[in-house]
Amino acid sequence: MLFTGSFFELKCYLKYLKRVRGIRIRRIDRIGENLFRLETKGVGTMKEIDKNSMEKIRIERTNYKGYDLVSLRVYFQDKISGEWKPSPKGITFKVELLEDIIEALESERTRRPLDGSSLPPGT
């Protein structure tokens, strides 16, 4: 992950990542004037799906206060910076619920196929 800004802005951003997103930074490398490379700990983007030209659905595996979580969150592209930022739209749940959620979604798709889906029913 790259961060552009002053050292003070970086410090504020790191607090935000830790408190709000549950993301811890393992390593910070300064790679230029006001440009930093951040190596994250406890986070991994599993999948990114384009919702439309201005939004993406990001599926991530995170760790918060010792809990392994899966987060489905809508990200929007900031008009000024062009950076992808998380919106309040989304859900986070324990990894243990993942199989039940997948089963429920597959059951719904089989019961009522969706128009325009790239996947055939029951696949």
Higher confidence at residue 56 or residue 122?
56
- What is the structure's pLDDT at 2? 84
Nearest Cα residue to 72 out of 114, 25, 105, 113: 105
pLDDT digits (tens, 9 = 90+) for 18-34: 766 667 787 888 988 88
Assigned CATH class of 42-123: mainly beta
Q: Above 60 in pLDDT, residue 17?
A: yes
Percent share of the chain, pLDDT over 90: 27
3-state secondary structure string across the chain: CEEECCHHHHHHHHHHHHHHHCCEEEEEEEEECCEEEEEEECEEEEEEEECCCCEEEEEEEEEECCEEEEEEEEEEECCCCCCEEEEEEEEEEEHHHHHHHHHHHHHHHHHCCCCCCCCCCCC
pLDDT digits (tens, 9 = 90+) for 91-104: 999 999 999 999 99
Domain ranges for the chain: 1-41, 42-123
